[in-house]
Chain A
Amino acid sequence: MSRVAVEDLIDRWINEPSFRAEIRQDPEGAVRRTGLELTEDEWAALRNVDWQLSDEELTARANMGA
């Protein structure tokens, strides 16, 4: 998966309420159904993403990076 594919995934999350609901319920299944081919690191990253977080909660998680 390229960065462009990651961006497309997030764009769908932003623009398609049905995809947002789908990914919140079953993140791995929702991503698999897009047909994207992911590397081990990319799967690990997408599994670790908390899709339930609101924009405000995500902003609050911004850190200054150690």
Chain B
Amino acid sequence: MLLDEAAVGVWAPRTAAAVLERVDHLVGELAVTPEQARLLRQALVGLRQQALGDPTEQDGLRLFVHYPLLVHAAVSGDDAPALPLAAATSLLFLGIDIFDDLADSDLPEHWNGTPPSRINLAAATLLSALPQLAIDALGTSAAVRADLQRIVADGLLRMSAGQQEDLGQAGAVAPEPADVEASVMAKSGEEIAMFGLLAARLAGAPPRLSEAYTEIGRAIGVAAQIASDCYDLFTAARSKDLANGSRTLPIAFHLQHLDGAPRKAFLALIDAARTEPAARDEIRGKLRASGALRKSAVVVELWCQRAHRLLREARPLEPAGERIEHLIESVSFFAPPSDSSIERAEETACLGSVAQRSGRVGG
């Protein structure tokens, strides 16, 4: 049991480090050739950056590492047996993330100089071989392991269908907000739902409880992705979505009420924002003024409140339940700041620096 040992701000990075160590060990143990191990370890640089992240924010909680650990503890009272599963979910997350970065031509620096064909190979290996072998090595019954393998295959199949639908809409100049939200649900929502279901089944949860943690994961995954999209658009030093011309929820909300010349002008502005910083600032101003950010924040809150309610109904064991509450609140725009985040903000202010975050959500 690792959960009782420390406050969330200590538990989160400690368990993330333990999971990273396990992932690195898996790569060393399973890679067929030294070259393959080198390529996979290059990919793990990205995982390490995202798992440990910026310690000044959000208590270091990461959905792909911590949600499976917390669900296991919420069902069984112990998070430690889920560490190998968190290694598997981290590998799945990393494979999906690299494919996303490849599709968006937005690869992090550690891939500089590596041909796309090799990066593609790394992502395919991470997604289709290592998590399955990690699950196969879990110290549980053959029936449970087979169940978990089936959950992974089913989850990836659903995410693939979501991605295919998304590709079909990629040419849409102005998607409806409902379509954007459905797309987020089919990808990020489905990913965290899968992680919740894996952990619940490993912990021996009955079907109704497994379903609850699946749906809580889906709600947190959607809320987190929309929150992350808002962060990218309004706060990040460089908006990846504006650079790619992506129509995330705030953009869809804004476009929804534009017709004729104003709509044409805003679409031209989105195109210009791919390269022009002034156009990005203008977009941010327009989105705030039209209420697009506020609407997106309320949609995040709707998903957070759904997750809170489902969690109450699931009656989680403590302290895992409280930590899942904390995880949900970490993506809300309206949750009161925690004592630890206030302390960190004061420390940051004392150091005279502003924490800058960038990156993708864990789902």
- Determine if A14 and B294 form an interchain contact, defined as CB atoms under 8 angstroms apart: yes
State whether B231 touches A62 (Cβ < 8 A).
yes
Q: Which of A13, A44, A66 has the most CB of B within 10 A?
A: A66
A10 on interface, CB distance cutoff 8 Å: yes
Q: Would B225 and A65 count as touching, CB distance under 8 A?
A: yes
Q: Is A10's CB under 8 angstroms from B291's CB?
A: yes
Residues of chain B contacted by A62 (CB below 8 angstroms): 227, 230-231, 234-235, 293, 333
A37-66 vs B, Cβ < 8 Å mask (1 yes, 0 no): 000111011101110010100111111111
A14 CA to B254 CA, complexed, in Å: 13
Given contacts A63-B58, A65-B331, A66-B327, contact A45 B305 (CB under 8 A): yes
Task: Name the distance in Å between A66's Cβ and chain B's nearest Cβ.
Answer: 5
Q: Are B333 and A10 within 8 A (Cβ)? A: no
Q: With the chains together, A61 CA to B57 CA distance in Å?
A: 12
Chain-A contact segment, one of B17-25, B119-127, B270-278, B353-361:
B353-361
- One of A7, A42, A59 near B234 (C-beta < 8 A): A59
Instruction: Say yes or no: is B330 at the interface (Cβ < 8 Å to chain A).
Output: yes
List A residues 3-52 near B (Cβ within 8 Å): 3, 6-7, 10-11, 13-14, 40-42, 44-46, 48-50
Output the least CB separation between B60 and chain A (Å): 10
Report A-chain residues with C-beta under 8 Å of the C-beta of B220: 66
B266 close to A (CB within 8 Å):
no
Residues in B whose Cβ lies below 8 Å from that of A53: 333-334
The segment from B81-89, B94-102, B143-151, B296-304 that touches chain A is B296-304
Chain B 280-309 against A: per-residue CB contact (8 Å), 1 yes, 0 no? 000000001111011101110110111011
- CB pair B334–A64 under 8 Å, yes or no, is no
Query: A interface, how many residues as a size bin?
Result: 20 to 34
Q: Which of A6, A49, A55, A65 contacts B334 (CB 8 A)?
A: A49
From B63, B295, B333, B361, A6 is in contact (CB under 8 Å) with: B295
**Contact, CB under 8 Å: A48 / B332:** yes
B13 within 8 A of A: no
Q: Tell me whether B291 and A48 are in contact (CB under 8 A).
A: no
Cβ of A48 and Cβ of B225 under 8 Å apart? no
Q: A14-B294, A49-B301, A66-B62 are in contact. Are A3 and B177 (CB under 8 A)?
A: yes
A38, chain B: closest CB distance, angstroms: 10
By a CB distance below 8 angstroms, the chain A residues around B234 are: 59, 62
In the assembled complex, B212 has its CB within 8 A of some CB on chain A: no
Quick one: given A3-B299, A41-B306, A48-B334, are A65 and B291 in contact (CB under 8 Å)? no
* Measured CA separation A40–B362 after assembly (Å): 28
Question: Which chain A residues lie closer than 8 Å to B181 at the CB level?
Answer: 3
A36 to B242, CA, bound (A): 35
A48 neighbours in B (Cβ, 8 Å): 301, 304-305, 332, 334-335
CB-CB under 8 A from B308, the residues of chain A are 44
Q: Which residue of B lies closest to A40 (CB)?
A: B309
CB-based contact A14/B290 at 8 Å: yes
Quick check: B309 and A66 within 8 Å, CB to CB?
Answer: no
Contact across chains for B294 and A63 when beta carbons are under 8 A apart: no
Complex Cα gap A55–B224 (Å): 20
Can you list 28 pairs linking A and B with CB atoms under 8 Å apart?
A: A6-B295, A7-B256, A10-B294, A10-B295, A13-B291, A14-B289, A45-B304, A46-B301, A48-B301, A48-B335, A49-B297, A49-B301, A53-B333, A53-B334, A61-B297, A61-B333, A62-B230, A62-B234, A63-B58, A63-B231, A63-B330, A63-B331, A64-B227, A65-B224, A65-B227, A65-B231, A66-B61, A66-B63
Interface residues of B (CB under 8 A from A): 57-58, 61-63, 177-178, 181, 220, 223-228, 230-232, 234-235, 253, 256-257, 288-291, 293-295, 297-299, 301-302, 304-306, 308-309, 327, 330-335, 357-359, 361-362
Q: What residues of chain A have their CB less than 8 Å away from a CB belonging to chain B?
A: 3, 6-7, 10-11, 13-14, 40-42, 44-46, 48-50, 53, 55, 58-66
